[in-house]
Amino acid sequence: MQQHLDLEERDFFRFPFSPEEIKSLLHGRSAKDMFNPRSPEVKKRGLSPDQLTDEDLISLMIEEPRLIKRPIVVIGKETYFGADTKTLAQLFK
């Protein structure tokens, strides 16, 4: 049986997220879940993510989308940040 998936792609470099959209994607979780501490921008800016508030992290991600874990996959009410191919394969079994 073949499943059909409707996909929506968004280039958030061209169409940045608003603070409200980020909070909605987080579903009450910490902004650290969405923040990419491995981004070269972290070192370039001298950031210490563990010392920043959620509001600070959200502001930084809006200002510089490279600080967002990619891809962002939303399935129903669940959001996955930085999902790798193995995780995605399990989600779509």
Angstrom distances, CA of residue 78 to CA of 27, 61, 73, 81, 82: 8, 20, 8, 10, 13
Predicted local distance difference test score (pLDDT) of residue 1? 54
Residue 6 lies in a domain: no
- 77 in a domain, yes or no? yes
Residue 66 belongs to domain with CATH number: 3.40.30.10
User: Could you tell me what percent of the chain has a pLDDT over 70?
Assistant: 94
Find out whether 61 and 52 touch, Cβ atoms under 8 Å: no
**Residues 6+ positions from 70 with CB-CB distance below 8 Å:** 36, 81, 82
The pTM (predicted TM-score) of the whole model is 0.85
What is the pLDDT at residue 80? 92
Is 14 among the domain residues?
Answer: no
Mean pLDDT of the chain: 91
47 found inside a domain: yes
Q: What is the pLDDT of residue 3?
A: 64
What's the number of domains the chain is made of?
Answer: 1
Give the model confidence (pLDDT) of 53-93 as tens digits.
Answer: 999 999 999 999 999 999 998 888 889 999 888 887 887 77
What is the full DSSP assignment across 5-31? -------TTTSPPPHHHHHHHHTTS-G
Q: Which residue range is the domain that position 42 belongs to?
A: 19-91
